[in-house]
Each structure stands twice: as structure tokens, then as C-alpha cells.
Chain A
Amino acid sequence: MREDHFIVIGNGPAGSQAAFTLKEKAPEARVTIVTKEREGCCHSHLLPGFLAGSISEKKVFAISLDHYTKSGIKLRTGQSVVDVNPQRKEILLEHKETISYSGLIIAVGGRPYIPEPLLAYREHLCTLKTFQDTGTWRQLLPAADSILIMGGDLTSLAVTKSLLALKKKIYFMLTGEAFWPLRFDKALQEEVSGKLTKRGVTVLAGNKLVGIEPVRSGSCRVYVDGQKIKVDMIGAFFGLVPDIGFLRRSGLQLDRGVLVDEYLCSSHEGICAAGDCAQIYHPEIKDYWVSIGTKNARSLGKIAAVNLAGGRKKTRVDRERIFDIQGVKVNTSWWMEF
């Protein structure tokens, strides 16, 4: 009989947890993780601390590469999946290799969201989601005295804290809708603005970006309503969107994320999704939701793996931890951990 081959796409907290659980539940099966990242599983919420030098590189990586080998999990890094064929039970990699699977878990996580009006300035905007992203920051930071932080998700606050520790001049452009994952109301705006101002940050609350213009020295001139400011770097933090573009032609049912039931099973047999790319309907909140945060991701990764290996475990969500962002309900453990 042909042995089972479980493939997990993504090596974040959800993906890695799914792979280890699969190996535990089905020790005889082959388990392969395919990830486009070049490094191991990274704690993205620790990256701002890493930039400030308060957290070591070792601590950023949650799992040592040896651990995968010892557990019998094949880790294929730096390889992008460009398509999934549920009928043939195959994934297609960017370098045109196809790999067959008997069960698949999609745990690709989210990618930084850049609002459409800002895409024209994409080349000037730095994000911080992966360890690779830290390369750009570390390259530009030494020469950057002033930095504009746009958006206002939770990462932006951590980055601001780190940059202040590095004695940088910070401008913060608070964007209501982007205060991800929390609903940005007046009280929250005042609280955040007050705290930032107290720490020496220049808050540009409620202002609208008119344009960004690069200047010769590598800096940018940013036009905000009637004024212009010159900054050496711009960080964009508008939350995350599920990184599922490669599934567009797969036939899987998709919305913002992969639509799955409470068992994390997708519309196709043998395919589950976990982590912040899985979108689930929850009767209590009468809406679809996605989970973010390391703790949630691990939990979902485990449930997906248990169910793919033949189990029947439901996900659950605590209503008080649900937030609304851009019409999508978000369940976060991150805010609590932060």
C-alpha cells in the first residue's frame, strides 16, 4: 500500500504545529512542510524587539531546524507553491515541480496589507512580517533619523517602541480603519495618541496622505493634507490579509481566506486550512471570522492535523476576543499576549 504523504503549506506557528501533530498522529506517514520563507518558523511578533536589539535571533526562531529532522519532518524552505490541484491531489511549485499528497493543510498565514490607494507608493513602504523583512529595516535604519509609521496595527506600536529605544524621531500617522484588529473609535484614538505623544512621537491623527515623493538622498517627502514632512523611512502597518492568491485557480472555496467548517475542513476532501488564512462561520457571532496570534494559530494547526489524520475536533471561539476589521471578524490572542 502506498504510504500517506501529508503536505503542510506554510511553516508559521499553525503550519509547524500541524506538521508535528500529523507526525504524532500518523507516525508512519511522510510529512512535508513547504514554505516560501528561507528560514525556520519565526515569531513575527518578536521582530520589532529583534530590530531594537533586545531580542536575539535565536529567540526569534521558535523551532530549531534540528527538531524537524529529528521528528522526521521534511522541511522545504524557499519554495513557493503556485497552485493546488484537488482533483489530482497535487501541488505545483514555482520551479514547476509537482508533489502528490494524500492530505493537505494550508497554513500560509497573512501578508501585510497595503491599502489600494497606497500601492502607488509601495516601493517606499517597509513592512515587517517575516525575518527577511528585517533585512531591509536593518539596512536602512542606521542612516535613518526620522521615520514615518503609517497605519496603526499592533505591530506598528511595537515597532514604534523599538525605534524610540533606538533614539529615532517618529511621526505616526494614525489611520482609523487600519487600527487592526481593534475598532478604532474616538476614545481609543485619544488614548493611543496621548500615549504616543507622551513618549515623544509626533502624531498625525486624522490626516490624509496626499502623496509621497522620493528625494535624492534616499529620503522621502511626505505630503499630508496642508503640510509636508521629510522622513528617511516609512513603515506601513495596516494589518494582514490571508496570503492565498496561489489558490485562485484551485477550485477551493475562498473569500478573504480559505472557507472552512468548524473542523477546519475545506470544500475539498483531504484539504484543511489553519491559522490566519482559514475563514470560519461561527453561529454565535453570525459571521465568518479568522484567527490571528501565535496561540490561536498553534491551536488551529493542531485541530487541522488531528482532523486530517481522521479525528473529529471542533474549533471554538471566545466572543469577547472577536474584533471587526474591514468587514471581517477577527479572533485574536495576540492582543492578550502583546
Chain B
Amino acid sequence: MSNKIIYSKQQEDFDYIAVNIPCQHACPVNTNIPAYIRALFESHHSSSYAINAMANIFPGVLGRICSRPCEDMCRHGEKELGNPVNICHIKRAAADLNKTPAEPLKPLPPCGKKVAVIGAGPAGLAAAHDLALAGIDVTVFESFDKPGGMLRYGIPRFRLPRTILEKEINRILKLGIILKTGVHIGDTLSLTSLLENHDCVLVAAGCYTANQLNTDGEDLKGVFSGLDFMIDVCSGRKPAVGKRVLVAGAGFTAFDCARSALRLGAEEVTICLRRTEEDLTVTADEIFQTKLEGVKFNALMLSRRILGTQKVEAVEFVRTRSGVLRPDGKREISEIKGSEFVLPADSLIVATGQTPLELTTGDGKLAVTDTASFTTSMSGVYATGDYLSGPSTVIEAISMGRKAAEVIARRLTGKKYRKKVVRMQETQVTDRLRAWDFVPRQAMPAIQGTTARLKSWAVEVETGFTAQQAAEESKRCYLCYLHYEIDIDRCIYCRYCIDVAPRDCIKLVDRIETNEHGAVTGLHETSVWKDVNAVVIDNARCIRCGECLRVCPVDCISVTRVELMEQGPPSDSSIAEHKNA
């Protein structure tokens, strides 16, 4: 077996990753998921953490609150294969079980450039992290008293303990980043003056203007915006919600509001959905935990107006009809005429989204001119995160922050800092057993009983995997970064491999289709023996069980570890080597 390592920048290899390692491709920051799961299984907790931190910077935080686009694409979740691997909670286990203090990150020598980052949320901190590693002098300006943005002021403590958040933020700030809190850009400091003292400004100010229903009664007492409600709750204030609370909205904020209302003493909390529970994009775990605490769901209803004299007393809704899926993934809805009905309520929390605050320049409002290059209407000022895209997820914000940092660092220094490469190395078949494909998805342990949960904001509801549970869940990963291939020159066409294949993953083909880059896009199977030109493993169907390799009489099947990686600044490569070891 050759130990040769190939680093490829060929597009066909990136195309291969997109199809064959669906979890890593779905992750906005391309976290090397199979690698960190395998490291955790082998009890290399610090490596598992480091692999995560290289890509997503906040493993402990994301392991709790990530929206998990990876799990939606996990091959184990394909129709006949069961449930996706609990990737997110394995990430959390990597953080929880890692007892080795993370190695301090080493920035490149100072390059003499200065960047101001507005906003210490996930996008701003991720950008600051990458800029600082590139040797750039970074100052972060934050309007709240503490850093974290929506992580601190939008997500309640029972989902994200502040010790975890602070630990991972401090790891970033230790790169030499200056943090200035309580600074409101526009009031205490203008964009123009910031630009006078810095080479570039990156606006990562998030979305802090709550959408309104624009209905009658919205100014009544007892009507809260979901955003302001969560900021209050996360700041330690206790809004008076009464006994019956209605929450209009379907995102994570709506769920956090509903669960927080219970902790504020509400007795009947109902989430009112325009669409249905099936159309929710929040994770199944979140839905389950919310129901478990006693929150009710009411679907196919749209708020029309808020009723009451001094304060909210009821809300009038209209029924909706569910329609076709739109290209943006949301389902069309239409109002059903004459279907108005009223629900009594002591308070209504409106959590139907947010938009960015407007920043002004000397020439008027700051406008985003190109989302791909992160540029704005003001030269030298860039935008990223939710400020750029509108409300997104934490992992998307981190991804945008890192990409914007790369654009700025390249502009200021003329150097490219982060290069994507596909690393290939021949390896051996793993010790995965076919039986592991039937291990059930491990449920996240959580505090049982609502009384215990609701007694304190500081009680983290999900308690995390034990080392044994994490290892058991890790067994379920197919390790899709392993590429199985038959050497046609040595194959004797015995077809033993096809006989033992657990699904139609090995094919007799007469023709292979490729795209313009040379990546395989289709296999033309044939049942006519004389037309067979090759026996091919379809890696998009393969579940990496290794059975084919074990039965091959002529040893013509090889396994290659194929990984999408980043060649970062030198300080990153030490971690990369650590992982490779």
C-alpha cells in the first residue's frame, strides 16, 4: 500500500466531494465530519475538537445549537437506511469530553494592517478570528455589554450555557483582538471616523430590527417582539407574560420565546404556525423538547389583528391552506376566506423574523452592493453575516464571516490565506462492522420532568452524551470520506463483491458518464454480459461496509481516504498535521 498523499485542486475532485461526502458538503464551513467522528470514536477527543474548531471555530456552542444542515444530508438518513447520524451531538461530545486545554492559536507575524469589525456576534467573531490569524490588527466594536451577539442575547441559557460560550469567545479574543463593548456605531462612533483609523471596516452588525405583523393592536401592552423578548430574557429581565401566551412564528426564536414564557410562569403557551409542523425547519430534537415542556402547537393559522383595550386580550386569526413548495424551500400558503376565529391571550410574542439596522455614511444609508464580494456602497467598508444576508443560522453566519475575512485579508496583504484542497491517501479498510449500521440513533439525554427544568434558567436541558453514548453514536457513521474503488485491470469479474453488497452499490456498467470537469455523474448499467466494460463501485450509494473488499479473491479493491481540507496560515497547519497523525 502506498503512503503517498496527493493534494488536488482539480474541480473534478471537489465535484466528487459534493456528491460523495454529503455531510461535509452541506456544512457551510465544510467541517470534516467523518474525520472528527472517527477521532472521537478512537477516543482522540482533543483531535476531534481541533478538527471542528479549524472549520467552525465554536464546536461547544454549535454542538448545542447548530441547525444541522449536515444531518439532513447524512447518507444514513436515506430512505431505506434509517436515521441520520447524530452529528451535532457528537460535536458537542468532542467539546464536552475534551479535557485537554485547546492549544493557543498562533497568528502570523503582524502585517501592519488594521481592521475594525462592527459586531461581536458569530459572523463578526469568526471574521475577527481569521483576520487576527493573518497577522492583522483587529478591533471589534459591540453595542451590547458583552460579546456573543445573538448567541448571548438570542439563545437562552437553558440551551446554551454561558460558560461554554465565554470559553470559546475567549479563545478567539486571545489572538490579540481588542474588544470594545457598549459602542453604538452611528451614535458614539461614525463609520467615516472608523475608516479614518483603520484600513478596512467589516460590518457584522446582525439583524436587530424585529419584523412586525403590521396589524391593529400591535402597540397594546402584552405584545412583544420575539427579538426584544429574548434580549430581555437573556439579559436577566423578566417580562410579565401572564398565563396564556401565544407565539406567532416558526423559527428557533419562536421556540426559545415559547420555552422562556413557560419559565416566566405562563401556564398555557401555544406556538401558532402559518404552515404546519411538518414544514418547520427547526430540528426535531428542539420540537420534541419544546413539546415535552408542555408547549402546544397550532397549525395553519395566520394572525389578523390583536384585540384588547388597554392590553392584549385575544388575537384574531384566519385559517390558511397549505400549497406547493416554493424554490426557497418554504411552502405557499393562502388565506381561507371567512375562516376568522379568535383565541384568548394574555400576551402575544411576535417572532416572525428580523431585518438589519440601517447604518449611515456621509452620503446616506450604507447599502450592500455585492453579496459575493461582501462590498458595500462605501469604499473600504465590507458587510457580512446576517447584516449582509438577512436572518440566517449561526453556522451560515460563521461561514460568511470567514469568507469576508478572507476577501479583506487578501485585499490588504495581496496574499491568499485559505485554500481548499482535496487530500487523498490510500488507507486500509476500517474496523467498522456491518452490524453497526443497525445501531439505533442515540437520543440526547435530557433533564426529565418539567419541574426540574423550569426551576432555574441555568439548568441546561440537554445534558450531553456520555463517552460511551458518543462512541456508540460514532459507530453509526459510514465514514463517507473513504473511497472504494475496483482496479479493473486486476478484476476477474467473479462478482463476489456484488453478491455481498448490502444495496445496489456495485454495478456492471457499459458506460460511465462524466461532467465537463471529469467527475463521474452517471453509471450506465447493463444486464447483457458481453456489454459489460467494468465493475464499478457507486460511491454515492456505497455505505462503506467493506464487505466487497473482504471477499475479493484477487485483492483488487482499494480504499482511499478523500478529504476536503483547507490549507490555512502556517499556525493552522500544525493542527492539520495533528489531525493527520
Contacts and interface: CB of A to CB of B under 8 A. Distances in A.
A116 B288 contact: yes
Interface string B77-98: 0011000000000000000000
Contacts of A256: 277, 299
A230 to B, nearest CB: 20
19 contacts: A92-B79, A117-B292, A117-B294, A117-B449, A117-B450, A120-B448, A211-B448, A248-B278, A253-B278, A255-B299, A256-B277, A281-B336, A281-B339, A283-B338, A286-B341, A288-B300, A327-B296, A327-B297, A327-B299
Interface in B323-350: 324-325, 331, 336, 338-341
B80 A82 contact: yes
Nearest to A209: B449
Contacts of B296: 326-327
Contacts of B319: 281, 286-288
A249 interface: yes
B321 interface: yes
A211 B79 contact: no
B79 A249 contact: yes
Nearest to B340: A286
A58 interface: no
B278 A254 contact: yes
Nearest to B290: A116
Given A92-B80, A120-B448, A254-B276, A287 B341 contact: yes
B270 A327 contact: yes
Contacts of A267: 322, 324
Nearest to B289: A116
A96 interface: yes
B458 to A, nearest CB: 21
Given A254-B278, A255-B322, A327 B298 contact: yes
A255 B278 contact: yes
Contact of B339 (A120, A259, A286): A286
A255 B276 contact: yes
Interface string A76-96: 000000110000000010001
Nearest to B294: A117
Interface of A: 82-83, 92, 96, 116-117, 119-120, 210-211, 248-249, 251, 253-256, 259, 267, 281, 283, 286-288, 326-327
Contacts of A255: 276-278, 299-300, 322
Contacts of B297: 327
B259 to A, nearest CB: 13
Contacts of B450: 117
A286 B297 CA distance: 18
Contacts of A119: 292
Contacts of A248: 278
Interface of B: 79-80, 270, 276-278, 288, 291-292, 294, 296-300, 319, 321-322, 324-325, 331, 336, 338-341, 448-451
A221 to B, nearest CB: 16
Given A116-B288, A210-B451, A211-B449, 19 more contacts: A82-B79, A82-B80, A116-B292, A210-B449, A211-B448, A254-B278, A255-B278, A255-B300, A256-B299, A259-B276, A281-B319, A281-B336, A283-B339, A286-B319, A286-B341, A287-B339, A288-B319, A327-B296, A327-B298
- Tell me whether chain B's interface is mostly helix, strand or loop, or mixed: mixed
A146 to B, nearest CB: 24
Contacts of B298: 327
A283 B339 CA distance: 7
A249 B77 CA distance: 11
Contacts, number: 63
Contacts of B336: 281, 283
B439 to A, nearest CB: 18
Contacts of B294: 117
Contacts of A92: 79-80
A248 B340 CA distance: 29
Nearest to A251: B325
A267 B276 CA distance: 14
List the 3 shortest-distance A-B pairs measured between CB atoms, nearest first.
A116-B292, A255-B276, A116-B291
B332 to A, nearest CB: 10
A255 to B, nearest CB: 4
A82 B83 CA distance: 12
B274 to A, nearest CB: 12
Contacts of B270: 327
Contacts of B300: 255, 288
Contacts of A259: 276, 322
Contacts of B325: 251
A24 B341 CA distance: 42
Nearest to B503: A96
A212 B288 CA distance: 20
Contacts of A211: 448-449
A210 B448 CA distance: 10
A116 B145 CA distance: 38
A254 B296 CA distance: 17
Nearest to A95: B80
A288 B324 CA distance: 19
A92 B296 CA distance: 33
Contacts of B448: 120, 211
Nearest to B288: A116
A281 B278 CA distance: 17
Most buried by A among B324, B339, B341: B339
Residue with the highest number of chain B CB atoms closer than 10 Å, among A82, A253, A288: A253
Interface centre among B79, B297, B321 (most CB of A within 10 A): B79
Nearest to A83: B79
Contacts of B291: 116
A326 B276 CA distance: 14
Identify which of B80, B291, B340 gathers the most chain A CB atoms within 10 Å of its CB: B80
A250 to B, nearest CB: 10
Contacts of B449: 117, 210-211
Nearest to B325: A251
A327 B276 CA distance: 13
A92 B81 CA distance: 12
A330 to B, nearest CB: 15
A251 B276 CA distance: 13
A83 B82 CA distance: 12
A259 B278 CA distance: 11
A83 B79 CA distance: 7
A119 to B, nearest CB: 8
B364 to A, nearest CB: 45
A287 B342 CA distance: 12
Nearest to A94: B80
Nearest to B291: A116
Contacts of B451: 210
Residue among B276, B291, B296, B340 with max Cβ neighbours from chain A (10 Å): B276
A326 B291 CA distance: 12
Nearest to A118: B292
A177 to B, nearest CB: 9
A119 B289 CA distance: 11
A259 B277 CA distance: 12
A119 B277 CA distance: 20
Nearest to B270: A327
Contacts of B340: 286
Nearest to A287: B319
Nearest to A211: B449
Contacts of A117: 292, 294, 449-450
A96 B502 CA distance: 11
Contacts of B80: 82, 92, 96
A208 to B, nearest CB: 9
